[in-house]
C-alpha cells in the first residue's frame, strides 16, 4: 500500500513540476512550427546596438540607471548624435557578407530615445538630435533588398518616460499598484509606439527586452502578442515577453547542456559591450566567434552576434573584420551550418556537429590545424564517403576495435590532410548509408546495452 502511495506521490509531483514549467511558456510550439522554419534554418543573425550612448561610448541606458553618469549628462549625448557616417546600404552589405540571414536593430533602448520619428513622444533622434532622420526605414529597406530578414529590438522599459515607474536603480517614480491609471497611460504610449513600428516597418521578428521589470499581467503580454500577430501572423517574437514569446534568448551565457526550448538564440557581444565603447578592445577573434557559432548551431540554436556602431554611425574596424572573416568562413563551410539540424548527442564526437535534415550526413567541426585523426564513437552506419567541405577529395578513414561477434560498432578515425584544413575551423562531411544510427550502450556485446 505504502509503495503505491509513494509512487502516486512521485507521479503527482512530476505532473506539478512539468505543468509549472510549461506555465512559463504560453506558446504551444506545435502551433508556430511553420512560421519558425526560416528562423530555425537561419542560424546567424546580427544584432545592432546604436543609440545616443554611442556618442560618449558608455553603457547603453544602464550608465545613468546605475548612476555611473547623471541622467542630464547622459541625455546631453542627444546633441552629439549626428549619424553622419551611418550608411544603411553599406551596413546591410556587411551583414549580408557575414552570412547572416537576419538582423536586429535597436529601435528604442531602455533610455527611451526612439530611432524613428514617433508621434507618441518627441524623445527621438529625428526631433532631438542633429541626425534629424529616421534610422530604421533605410536599414530595413536595405536589408529586405538583400533578402535579409528584419528584426526590431524594442525595450518595454522606458526609464525616461514620466509615466514609467522605474528610473534609477535606487529610485522609482511610483508603484503600479498605487497608480494604475498612470501605468495605463504608459501602456497606451508603449502600445502606440508598437503600433507605429508594426505599421511602418512590419518587422519579421520582434526582439523585446526589459520584460523582467513587470509581470505578464502588468505588461498585458498576451495582448501585445495578439496585437503584433494581428498585424503579421508570421512575425516572430523573442522570449522576453514574460512567457509569450516564440523562442528563448540566453544572453552571453553559453549553454553547456542543450536548452530545453524547441528554438533558441544566443545573443552575444563582439567584445564585452553591446554599444560602442572605445576602451573595450576585448574583441573575440574570428576563430572564437566561429567556434561559439558552431557550438550554438550544434545544439540546435542560433547566434545573434552584436555590433555597436560609433556615435557617427560608422562601424568599428574590428567588427567589420569579424563579420568579413565570419562571412568568408560561412562561404567555405555554410553547407555544414545553414539548413542543418542539431548534431549528435554528446559522447560521440568531442566537438560540435550538425546533421543534414534527413540525418544521412554528419558534419563535424574540427578546429584548425588538427593533425591528430578525428574520432567518432558509436557510429553503426556504414560510410559512403568522407570529405572536407571545400574539397571533393575523399578522406581516408579507419575503423578500429570492431569485434566480429559483437553488435558494438568500432571507432572511426578520420585524418584531414594539412593542405585541406580550414584556417579557422574545418568541416568534415560524413555521408552515411541510411539515417544516422548510433550505439548508445555501455559496452555490452550481445545486446545494445
Binding stretches for ligand GLC (CB under 6 A):
49, 60, 62, 209, 251, 267, 274
Comparing CB distances to ligand GLC, the nearer of 311 and 343 is 311
Comparing CB distances to ligand GLC, the nearer of 60 and 246 is 60
Query: What DSSP string describes 47-58?
Result: EE--STHHHHT-
Comparing CB distances to ligand GLC, the nearer of 62 and 283 is 62
Compute the least distance from the CB of residue 377 to ligand GLC, in Å: 37
Comparing CB distances to ligand GLC, the nearer of 63 and 354 is 63
Supply φ then ψ for residue 414, to 5 degrees.
-120, 135
Task: Produce one character per residue of 120-155: b if its CB has 16 or more CB atoms within 10 Å, e if not.
Answer: bbebbbbebbebebbbbebbbebbeeeebbbbbbbb
Comparing CB distances to ligand GLC, the nearer of 316 and 336 is 316
Compute the least distance from the CB of residue 166 to ligand GLC, in Å: 12
Within 13 Å, how many C-alpha atoms sit on residue 89's CB side? 0
CA torsion sign, 162 to 166 to 167 to 172?
positive
Compute the least distance from the CB of residue 351 to ligand GLC, in Å: 27
Compute the least distance from the CB of residue 268 to ligand GLC, in Å: 9
Compute the least distance from the CB of residue 89 to ligand GLC, in Å: 25
Comparing CB distances to ligand GLC, the nearer of 224 and 428 is 224
CB–CB of 231/261 below 8 Å?
A: no
In the numeric block, which cell numbers belong to residue 262?
524547441
C-alpha closest to that of 53 among 77, 33, 30, 23: 77
Contacts of 152 (CB under 8 A, 6+ apart): 104, 105, 107, 136, 197, 201, 203, 205, 206, 207
Compute the least distance from the CB of residue 88 to ligand GLC, in Å: 20
Comparing CB distances to ligand GLC, the nearer of 153 and 244 is 153
Compute the least distance from the CB of residue 44 to ligand GLC, in Å: 16
Compute the least distance from the CB of residue 249 to ligand GLC, in Å: 7
CA 388 – CA 423 distance, rounded (Å) = 13
C-alpha closest to that of 74 among 58, 90, 89, 96: 58
Comparing CB distances to ligand GLC, the nearer of 14 and 252 is 252
Query: What DSSP string describes 144-210?
Result: HHTT-EEEEEEES--TT-TTSSEEETTEES--TTT-HHHHHHHHHHHHHHHHHHHHHH--SEEEEE-
Comparing CB distances to ligand GLC, the nearer of 81 and 424 is 81
Compute the least distance from the CB of residue 411 to ligand GLC, in Å: 42
CA 346 – CA 376 distance, rounded (Å) = 11
Beta bridge partners, 339, equal none
Supply φ then ψ for residue 189, to 5 degrees.
-65, -50
Amino acid at each position: 500500500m505504502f509503495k503505491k502511495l509513494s509512487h502516486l506521490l512521485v507521479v503527482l509531483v512530476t505532473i506539478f513540476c512539468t505543468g509549472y514549467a510549461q506555465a512559463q511558456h504560453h506558446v504551444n510550439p506545435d502551433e508556430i512550427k511553420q512560421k519558425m522554419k526560416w528562423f530555425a534554418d537561419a542560424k546567424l543573425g546580427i544584432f545592432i546596438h546604436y543609440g545616443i550612448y554611442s556618442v560618449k561610448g558608455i553603457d547603453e541606458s544602464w550608465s545613468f540607471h546605475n548612476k555611473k553618469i547623471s541622467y542630464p549628462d547622459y541625455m546631453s549625448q542627444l546633441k552629439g548624435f549626428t549619424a553622419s557616417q551611418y550608411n544603411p546600404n553599406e551596413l546591410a552589405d556587411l551583414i549580408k557578407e557575414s552570412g547572416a540571414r537576419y538582423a536586429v536593430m535597436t529601435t528604442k533602448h531602455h533610455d527611451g530615445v526612439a530611432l524613428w520619428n514617433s508621434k507618441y513622444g518627441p524623445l527621438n533622434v529625428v526631433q532631438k538630435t542633429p541626425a534629424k532622420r529616421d534610422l530604421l526605414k533605410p536599414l530595413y529597406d536595405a536589408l529586405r533588398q538583400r533578402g535579409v530578414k528584419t528584426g526590431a529590438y524594442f525595450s518595454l522599459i522606458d526609464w525616461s518616460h514620466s509615466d514609467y515607474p522605474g528610473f534609477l536603480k535606487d529610485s522609482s517614480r511610483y508603484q503600479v499598484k498605487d497608480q494604475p491609471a498612470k501605468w495605463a497611460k504608459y501602456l497606451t504610449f508603449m502600445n502606440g509606439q508598437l503600433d507605429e513600428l508594426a505599421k511602418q516597418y512590419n518587422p519579421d521578428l520582434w526582439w523585446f527586452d526589459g520584460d523582467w521589470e513587470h509581470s505578464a499581467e502588468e505588461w498585458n503580454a498576451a495582448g501585445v502578442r495578439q496585437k503584433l500577430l494581428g498585424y503579421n501572423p508570421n512575425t516572430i517574437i523573442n522570449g522576453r515577453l514574460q512567457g509569450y514569446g516564440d523562442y528563448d534568448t540566453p544572453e552571453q551565457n553559453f549553454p553547456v547542456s542543450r536548452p530545453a526550448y524547441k528554438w533558441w538564440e544566443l545573443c552575444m557581444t563582439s567584445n564585452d559591450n553591446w554599444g560602442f565603447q572605445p576602451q573595450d578592445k576585448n574583441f573575440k577573434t574570428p576563430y572564437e566567434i566561429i567556434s561559439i557559432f558552431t557550438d550554438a548551431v550544434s545544439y540546435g540554436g542560433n547566434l545573434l552576434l552584436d555590433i555597436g556602431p560609433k556615435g557617427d554611425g560608422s562601424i568599428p574596424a574590428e567588427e567589420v573584420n569579424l563579420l568579413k572573416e565570419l562571412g568568408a568562413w560561412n562561404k567555405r563551410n555554410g553547407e555544414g551550418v545553414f539548413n542543418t539540424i542539431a548534431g549528435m548527442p554528446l559522447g560521440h564526437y568531442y566537438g560540435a556537429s550538425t546533421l543534414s535534415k534527413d540525418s544521412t550526413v554528419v558534419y563535424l567541426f574540427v578546429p584548425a590545424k588538427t593533425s591528430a585523426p578525428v574520432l567518432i564513437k558509436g557510429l553503426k552506419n556504414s560510410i559512403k564517403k568522407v570529405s572536407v567541405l571545400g574539397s571533393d577529395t575523399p578522406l581516408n578513414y579507419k575503423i578500429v576495435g570492431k569485434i566480429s561477434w559483437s553488435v558494438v560498432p568500432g571507432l572511426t578515425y578520420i585524418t584531414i590532410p594539412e593542405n585541406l584544413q580550414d584556417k579557422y575551423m574545418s568541416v568534415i562531411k560524413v555521408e552515411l548509408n541510411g539515417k544516422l544510427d548510433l550505439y548508445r550502450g555501455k559496452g555490452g556485446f550481445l545486446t545494445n546495452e
